[in-house]
A and B are shown apart, each in its own frame.
Chain A
Amino acid sequence: MRARDNPFAAQCVQAIPYRLSGSTWEKLLDRLAALRCRAALVGPHGRGKTTLLEELARRLDERGLRTRRIVLREGDRRLSGAQRETLFRSLTARDVLLVDGAEQFGRLAWLEVRTRSRAAGGLVITSHRPGLLPTLYECRTTPELLAGIVADLVGREEAGRLPPAEDLLVRHGGNVRDALRDLYDFCAGITSSPAARTGSP
């Protein structure tokens, strides 16, 4: 299969909106307001924190706020000059700072962000661990969630021909992003059945 035809291509996966479990967008935004717009989206790798943060940004923008987003990569212990500029330049109460991957910060950098963000209307972070800010939402994955995403990407009938979501999620320790990459390889013919490699029937 050509990459352009692969239903699990990154662009197709990224187009799938985040699915809230046990909550609604209205409740989530109410809770964010109750937390004075300072909160964290928490969960391990591949649970959809970034997707949720992007969706949240879109909804905050729709409400007339201005979101400023930076993404921290593995090992980014401090802010770069460009990231400082993005976050802190001419801050007003209409600005909401979004930091993706805040668990990467060293203590001093996190202190700087917390202190300087007081001039903003909000600070929302994603983090692998709770405790940096009050948890707004804990991102979790289930086989049903993965099965739903797969069905959205390929249709229910085709999804039935793919390895079971339960097996994929077990193989990838709950990481939906890696499970979807595995399905990309499977559809591309790069690997044999991921389910077969788990030893599942």
Chain B
Amino acid sequence: MERIQIETRDGATAFAPGEVVEGTASWQLDKPARTVELRLFWYTQGKGDQDVGVVLTVPFPEPALQDRRSFHVVLPQGPYSFSGKLISLLWALEVVAEPGSRAGRIEIVVSPSRREIVLQPHFLVV
């Protein structure tokens, strides 16, 4: 059975903008992969169509069937992780093996407080 995993140092999943994320990617594949790469991206979820922004990709050269690689990425200054009623913006690290789009991912939070920003509705009273 195929397995692709991402682990961050000390299991951290919440970071401040500009912070460095270090960790390891490991995988056990049934079929050889031509490429394996780490992707840092944000995406939206909610009522409307999904939007995605891939911020960076880190290729792991000459991937073996069973392998373990370390990574080191610098987070951008934004956008921050947030949630409202209509839209959430989430960050994730994903390792993708091609062909086959085999992937493993972890969700992370990126914000100055290291917590997802929860948008509160404001009512204008006239």
Q: Inside 8 A of A188's CB, which chain B residues have their CB?
A: 47, 85-86
Chain A contact-residue range equals: 10 to 19
Query: B47 touching A10 by the CB < 8 A rule?
Result: yes
Known contacts A3-B47, A10-B47, A188-B86, then 8 further A-B pairs from the complex at CB < 8 Å, ordered by chain A residue: A2-B83, A2-B85, A2-B118, A3-B85, A3-B86, A3-B88, A10-B45, A190-B85
What is B's interface to A at a CB cutoff of 8 Å?
Answer: 45-50, 83-88, 90, 118
Report the minimum CB–CB distance from A3 to chain B (whole Å): 3
Q: Inside 8 A of A173's CB, which chain B residues have their CB?
A: none
Closest to A188 in B: B85
Query: A181 touching B90 by the CB < 8 A rule?
Result: no
Query: B47 touching A181 by the CB < 8 A rule?
Result: yes
Contact status of A11 and B85, CB under 8 A, knowing A2-B118, A4-B90: no
What is A's interface to B at a CB cutoff of 8 Å?
Answer: 1-4, 6, 8-11, 181, 184-185, 188-190
Query: B49 touching A3 by the CB < 8 A rule?
Result: no
Closest to A6 in B: B46
Report the minimum CB–CB distance from A44 to chain B (whole Å): 21
Report the minimum CB–CB distance from B32 to chain A (whole Å): 22
Query: A11 touching B47 by the CB < 8 A rule?
Result: no
Query: A11 touching B86 by the CB < 8 A rule?
Result: no
Give Cα A4 to B47, complex, Å. 9
Give Cα A2 to B85, complex, Å. 5
Q: Inside 8 A of A11's CB, which chain B residues have their CB?
A: 45, 50
**Pairs A-B, 5 closest by C-beta atoms:** A3-B46, A4-B88, A2-B83, A3-B88, A188-B85
Q: Inside 8 A of A8's CB, which chain B residues have their CB?
A: 47
Give Cα A181 to B49, complex, Å. 12
Give Cα A188 to B119, complex, Å. 13
Q: Inside 8 A of A184's CB, which chain B residues have their CB?
A: 47
Q: Given A4, A181, A189, which contacts B83 in the complex, CB threshold below 8 Å?
A: A4
Give Cα A8 to B48, complex, Å. 11
Report the minimum CB–CB distance from A138 to chain B (whole Å): 26
Query: B85 touching A10 by the CB < 8 A rule?
Result: no
Query: B49 touching A2 by the CB < 8 A rule?
Result: no
Query: B48 touching A10 by the CB < 8 A rule?
Result: yes
Closest to A187 in B: B85
Report the minimum CB–CB distance from B116 to chain A (whole Å): 8
Query: A4 touching B45 by the CB < 8 A rule?
Result: yes
Give Cα A10 to B118, complex, Å. 20
Query: B85 touching A189 by the CB < 8 A rule?
Result: yes
Q: Inside 8 A of B46's CB, which chain A residues have their CB?
A: 3-4, 6, 9-10
Give Cα A77 to B54, complex, Å. 33
Closest to A181 in B: B47
Give Cα A9 to B46, complex, Å. 5
Query: A10 touching B50 by the CB < 8 A rule?
Result: yes
Closest to B88 in A: A4
Give Cα A180 to B45, complex, Å. 15
Report the minimum CB–CB distance from B83 to chain A (whole Å): 4
Most buried by A among B46, B84, B87: B46
12 sample A-B contacts, Cβ–Cβ < 8 Å, listed by A number = A1-B85, A2-B84, A3-B45, A3-B47, A3-B86, A4-B83, A4-B88, A8-B47, A9-B46, A10-B49, A11-B45, A188-B47
